[in-house]
Amino acid sequence: MRFKPLKIVLPIAFLTAFGVGITFMLWKYGPSGIVDQPSNVMERAKFNYGDEVKKYSAELNLPYEYFMALIVLECSGNRPSGTRFEPHVFNRLKDVRDGNRRKYENVKPEIIANASDDALRNLATSWGPLQLMGYKCIGMKVNVEDIRGDDAVYHAMSWVNDEYGDLLRKGKYKDAFHMHNTGRKYPLVGKPKTHDPLYVQKGLQYIAYYKRQ
Question: Is 41-86+124-211 in CATH node 1.10.3050?
Answer: no
pLDDT at 37: 80
Instruction: Give dist(CA 12, CA 117) in Å, integer.
Output: 60
pTM: 0.81
Euclidean distance between CA atoms 77 and 125, whole angstroms: 18
Closest listed residue to residue 183, CA positions, set 100, 128, 104: 104
Helix (H) or strand (E) holding 208: helix 199-211
pLDDT score, position 66:
98
Q: Could you give the CA distance from residue 64 to residue 73 in angstroms, rounded to a whole number?
A: 15
pLDDT given at position 38: 87
What is the residue extent of each domain of the chain?
A: 1-36, 41-86+124-211
Q: Please give the Cα distance from 58 to 75 (Å, whole number).
A: 22
For residue 80, say if its preceding peptide bond is cis, omega within 30 degrees of 0: yes
- Each residue's pLDDT, cut to its tens digit, for the chain (213 residues) gives 444 444 444 444 444 444 544 444 444 444 444 567 888 999 999 999 999 999 999 999 999 999 999 999 999 999 999 999 999 999 999 999 999 999 999 999 999 999 999 999 999 999 999 999 999 999 999 999 999 999 999 999 999 999 999 999 999 999 999 999 999 999 999 999 999 999 999 999 999 999 998
